[in-house]
Amino acid sequence: MTGGYFLGVDGGGTKTEFVCIDAAGAVIARAVTGTTYHLEVGIDEAVQRLAQGIAAICGELGIQPDALGFVFFGLPAYGEDSVIDPQLHAACRRLLGHERYACGNDMVCGWAGSLACQDGINIVAGTGSIAYGERQGKAARAGGWGEIIGDEGSAYWIAAQGLALFSRMSDGRAAKGVLHDRIVEALALGHDLDLCQRIMGPAAMGRGEIAALAGLVSRAAADGDSGASAILVAAADELAALAIALRTSLSFPPGERVPLSWSGGVLLQEPLVRNAFARIIDDTGLFALTEPRHAPGYGAALYAQRLARSSDAS
């Protein structure tokens, strides 16, 4: 097998994690930088953050990038832009100085971690949302269209739905619940319409900042806000729909209970969404819910190791 260091890069909407493992799978170095979501920070900044992470890993190990046996870059929005993708791919080549690497969408990291690179489906519900799965060498995805078009069930989507509910509460189209005052307090709104400036004005909140407001919806639901609760149940429905669509795309046999796992803050940290999601999935009888085995960063490193083995075998 080529080299003894396998580096996985899990790019996300909030942060990017770098995990390096040895041939036995033990973690030997970690690093974290900011998001590498180029649609938010630009390609130059995304590449700079990749460079920082690689430098941190190599510095911790006392090696140069050419000593890395294989690297997998799981990058946000990769595979969705025929102009940007080759630029990112070429930039990774420059950072490493060798060809022992692959680039893919960060959805692969979640699947590789949760299911340890075994056949099945993983739902990613973090800042954005997407589903990825593999079966007998075939891979497919569902969702992940971005916050403007979709990303249903994600933290950003939950927050956006919460803000929309706030607007209806404010002008009387919906009964005023706990969520209204929570948003006023969290955003220090002097007047309800100040929300427009906070979200869409010159100093508008970023994607990650808006996604963080999903916690307000969750806490309002826990305190009895029925509108907020409905948003969380709808999020669970949307995430379950991703799994069902992907099961069909991957042609799993009708009677097979497909391993289904999850990653990302919404399903890991929001029990109201996770419990509703589990109920919906159980009712289908189509899946075997599987607790995540590893975090996405470690999954990216496992995937790098798998790619190295495939390369050596070919």
DSSP letters for 29-76: EEEEEE---HHHH-HHHHHHHHHHHHHHHHHHHT--GGG-SEEEEEET
Indicate whether 107 and 148 sit together in one domain: no
Residue 268 Cα to chain centre, angstroms: 12
> Is the residue at 191 inside a domain?
yes
The pLDDT of residue 1: 43
Q: Are residues 255 and 139 in the same domain?
A: yes
Q: 151 in a domain, yes or no?
A: yes
Banded model confidence at residue 129, pLDDT cuts 50, 70, 90: very high
Q: Range of 173's domain? A: 119-292
Q: 133-161 burial, b for 16+ CB within 10 Å, e for fewer?
A: bbbeeeebbbbbebbeebbbbbbbbbbbb
For 251-291, what is each residue's pLDDT tens digit? 999 989 999 999 999 999 999 999 999 999 999 999 999 99
Q: Yes or no: say if 138 and 246 are a contact pair by the CB < 8 Å rule.
A: no
Cα 193 to chain center, whole Å?
Answer: 32
Average pLDDT over residues 164-180: 97
The reply to whether 1 falls in a domain is: no
Per residue in 26-64, pLDDT (tens digit) is 999 999 999 998 988 899 999 999 999 999 999 999 999
Q: Distance (Å, rounded) from C-alpha 261 to C-alpha 107?
A: 12
Does residue 2 have a pLDDT over 70? no
The answer on 272 and 131 residing in a single domain is yes
Q: Answer yes or no: is 131 within a domain.
A: yes
Q: Is residue 154 domain-shared with residue 166, that is, in the same domain?
A: yes
Total Cβ atoms within 10 A of residue 71: 29
Rounded to whole angstroms, how far apart are CA atoms 304 and 184? 46
Mean pLDDT across 18-25: 96
Measured CA to CA, the distance from residue 6 to residue 138 in angstroms comes to 24
For residue 133, what is the enclosing H or E element?
strand 129-135
> Sorting pLDDT into bands at 50, 70 and 90, what band is 314?
low
Model confidence at 239: pLDDT above 80? yes
Q: Are residues 304 and 240 in the same domain?
A: no
DSSP state of 10: E
- Give the integer Cα–Cα distance in Å for 307 and 302: 9
Same domain, 221 and 303: no
Domain co-membership, 147 together with 53: no
Give CA–CA dist 69/99, Å, rounded: 10
Distances (CA, A) of 174 to 79, 199, 255: 40, 21, 43
CA distance 6 to 57: 11
Q: Which residue has the tokens 């489906």?
A: 121
Asked if residue 193 has pLDDT above 50, the reply is yes
Q: What pLDDT does 39 receive?
A: 87
Same domain, 56 and 13: yes
* Contact call for residues 18 and 101 (beta carbons, < 8 A): no
Containing 80, the helix (H) or strand (E) segment is none
CA–CA gap between residue 238 and residue 229 (Å, rounded): 14
CATH number, domain with residue 243? 3.30.420.40
| Residue-level pLDDT at 23 | 94
| pLDDT computed for residue 311 by the predictor | 74
186 and 205: one domain? yes
Same domain, 137 and 248: yes
Number of domains in the chain: 2
Q: Which is more confidently placed, 13 or 249?
A: 249
* 259 inside domain: yes
